[in-house]
Amino acid sequence: MTWQDESMLKIAVWKLLFLYSLLIIAILIGCTSPPKKLVDRVAAQPGSGILFTSDRTHNWDIFLIQADGSGLTRLTDFPGVDADPAWSPDGRSIACRSRRDGSSDIFLMDPDGSNPVNLINDPEMSLDDEFAPFWSPDGETLSLYTDRYPPRGDCLSGFHQIAMLVEEDGNYQVDLFDTIAGEQYSSTWSPMDVI
């Protein structure tokens, strides 16, 4: 190899290092942008009380009751199952599981049960189901469990696995953890002041 070839090689290596550095900086800047909220619910008045699921109306619906036993209120009234309610940390949203669109998806609604929004939008009668949403302390993310992947044996649906609901370009995706194996059924977050 001549000295000219070595010089050209060194220049090419420096150019690649420079471009790689720019790429790393761009990634770091992109990773430090503030997280997006699941759904902007600022207009909703905060709610309070105990959320629970009951079949008292011969259909599984979500109800609200105050700690002293007063104010029993039915929040959902759809032919499909509505279950697994969870208050957002600021009390302005309720996350829940609902089959109102034909498959078990995660919904957000206002504290009075109005304005339901399907965050998953699986096709009707989809075998991919999500359950038990649970809010992160900052209200930015939901953990849940899903039978989305992979199928097992003769069963058309997969194992129940802990997952996160993450936003990508305005769409919500179920993001599985790659390192956990076996059946899983519930999740919880550490309190905010511990994180």
pLDDT tens figures, 44-102? 677 889 999 999 989 999 999 999 999 999 999 988 899 999 999 999 999 999 988 88
- Residue 35 has a pLDDT of 39
Q: What is the pLDDT of residues 111-164, one digit of tens each?
A: 999 999 988 887 777 777 888 899 999 888 888 887 776 555 555 555 677 787
CATH code linked to domain 50-194: 2.120.10.30
What is the Cα–Cα distance from 173 to 66, expressed in whole angstroms?
34
Angstrom CA distances, 49 to 7, 65, 73, 176, 187, stand at: 73, 6, 10, 32, 21
Confidence of residue 11 (pLDDT cuts 50, 70, 90): low
CA angle 72/48/80 to nearest 5° reads 55
